A and B are shown apart, each in its own frame.
Chain A
Amino acid sequence: MRTDLAVIGAGPAGIAAALAAARRGIRVALADAAPGPGGQYFRQPAPGLGAEGAVPRNARRTWTRLRDALAASTVDVRPEHHVWCVERESGRLTVHALLGPEQRASVELRADAVLLATGGYETVLPFPGWTLPGVVTAGGAQAMLKGGLVTPGHTVVVAGTGPLLLPVATGLAAAGVRVAALVESTDPARLPRHARALAGKLPEAAGYAARLLRHRVPVLTRHTVVRAHGEERLTGVTVAALDARGRVRPGTERLLPCDALAVGHGMLPHTDLAETLGCRLDGHAVAVDAEQRTDVPGVWAAGEATGVGGAALALAEGHIAGRSIAARLRGTAPDTDTWAPAARARARGRTAAAALHALHSPPAHWGEDVPDDTVICRCEEVTAGAVREALTLGAGDTRTVKLLTRAGMGWCQGRVCAPGVAAVTGCPPAPARRPFARPVPLGVLAAQHDRTTPHDDHPRPEEGSP
């Protein structure tokens, strides 16, 4: 199938870009792995569940507007497309996607431009007991609540650091779960120095504060979860206070009984597709210019993939990307004045994101305090002790640690353990350079090979010679 623009990811950035481009006469295909558009932020319950879902009220208005605009547009929405690779050959882009929940067959979308709106995923730093059933990521608890209207337990502790913890705690409380505590490692005394950058976020934060109060959720700031307890499943967590330098204050530990822990330490951008295409990264994020263009011709990026900053920022970036693509595909330079409001929203969003990032850094020395018998790589069951042993064997970077221990070689390809390995080793996380963004059946790869082997036109020498 051919199109002008293939947008990968139907979250806020992808939808905004698809709409902006389609309104300007561009043929757009909008591919996403989920059964419907919305991404993680606007994730909707399946229609058969007959419920309005757990999307916050202010977000619901935005979602209704986007959903209706998408339905009225010419955008070709392609759900259940699990994009595993984007190839660029002689200026043409080919998007490869596995179809449906089965993910056994692959299709190709050919496009003149691609927008990577691949979103992000959550970081969780390792601690004793974090592999127990009942311990889930904060975003995972939210995704299961939004999409399936289910909760991980009856009594939940929400812990870690970052702005995501607030909607997770209030969402779970509104769903009837007892939230035993919201445990945030950041010291609120650090807030004033970021007050100006975060001024736009204050009404939202105040709303969450009111809801936490209404649901009587105890908030423990400058605290952290030091251990999750249980044998076959979670039975409680030990929380402790942190000192000014981010160390656990001895004697402050206490046990909170719970059957679920929703934990998160921030977000990382999904950059696999960008890396395969050869796009330059800026730290963990895809580097883009003022038009949201990557340094690879024909490839744009927007939303969390270019730096985690939330839905409002993603909408602004997506809008700008869509308008830039519409102009560039016609061979003209865009009139950037016409998107000035979106550019201002983007600037505000980035300033706030930088402040939130600075405010919500996980406790210092995390890696040093992880006990040797704690699993770091969940897939390959590699412990902190094994990772430290690799260091004593001479490993000087996370790649060598991976080769010596298998940490990062499992199903998730190191997405989950990379921050933990980096924390324990003190080495910066190396670029992962994954060839594919998700597991691909061997049959699909073999079919790709058949397609590119020139067996029809030219007999191979050994076949052609007598």
Chain B
Amino acid sequence: MRTPEDGGTGRAFEVTFDGRPVEALPGRTVAAVLWAAGVTSWRTTRDGGRPRGVFCGIGVCFDCLVTVNGRPNQRACLVPARPGDVIRTQEGTGHED
């Protein structure tokens, strides 16, 4: 397979994940950007504090919830990454409680 890293038509841009810069390609979801950066978990559960990431990959399971630009509970597998996005690991409900 020809991968986009071999030279896609879109220009790479930067987002941050928990404060560190991550390269993103246009059209990729937040989940795809994080997978490409080798990150597989970006949420901890409410009760057990266990790590979670993508499970169903098509917006059904809500396991990949993440905080993007301060808004928690975004499905990383659906939300497209945009230049400058501030992506943060979501702890529990994502709200301070």
Contacts and interface: CB of A to CB of B under 8 A. Distances in A.
Contacts of A45: 4, 27
A205 B27 CA distance: 32
B50 interface: yes
A135 B52 CA distance: 10
Contact of B8 (A50, A378, A411): A50
A416 B26 contact: no
Interface in A138-177: 139-144, 147-153, 174-176
Interface in A379-438: 379-381, 410-412, 415-416
A412 B55 CA distance: 12
A379 B3 CA distance: 34
A176 B1 contact: yes
Contact of A139 (B7, B51, B57, B62): B57
Nearest to B39: A133
Nearest to B31: A144
A135 to B, nearest CB: 7
A352 B53 CA distance: 35
A167 B79 CA distance: 25
Contacts of A147: 29, 32
Contacts of A175: 1, 3
B47 A381 contact: yes
A191 to B, nearest CB: 29
A159 to B, nearest CB: 15
B41 A122 contact: no
Main SS class of interface, B? loop
B35 A151 contact: yes
Interface in B52-68: 52-63, 65
Given A49-B27, A50-B4, A411-B65, A136 B59 contact: no
B77 interface: yes
A144 B77 contact: yes
Interface string B19-34: 0000001111101100
A152 B8 contact: no
A149 B77 contact: no
A40 B58 contact: yes
B86 to A, nearest CB: 16
A49 B25 contact: yes
Contact of A133 (B28, B29, B41, B57): B41
A151 B31 CA distance: 11
A142 B1 CA distance: 14
A250 interface: no
Residue among A122, A144, A149 facing the most chain B CB atoms (10 A cut-off): A149
Contact of B1 (A54, A143, A233): A54
Given A51-B1, A101-B79, A151-B35, A140 B25 contact: no
Given A135-B55, A144-B31, A378-B55, A48 B8 contact: yes
A412 B61 CA distance: 5
A4 to B, nearest CB: 29
Interface string B35-53: 1100011000111101111
A243 interface: no
B54 A381 contact: no
Interface string A118-133: 0001100000000111
Contacts of A411: 61-62, 65
Contacts of A415: 60-61
Task: Sort A-B residue pairs by CB-CB distance and give the 4 closest, nearest first.
Answer: A46-B27, A140-B57, A48-B10, A148-B32
19 contacts: A45-B27, A46-B28, A48-B8, A49-B27, A133-B41, A136-B54, A140-B57, A140-B58, A144-B35, A144-B54, A147-B29, A148-B27, A148-B31, A148-B35, A148-B36, A149-B1, A152-B35, A176-B1, A381-B50
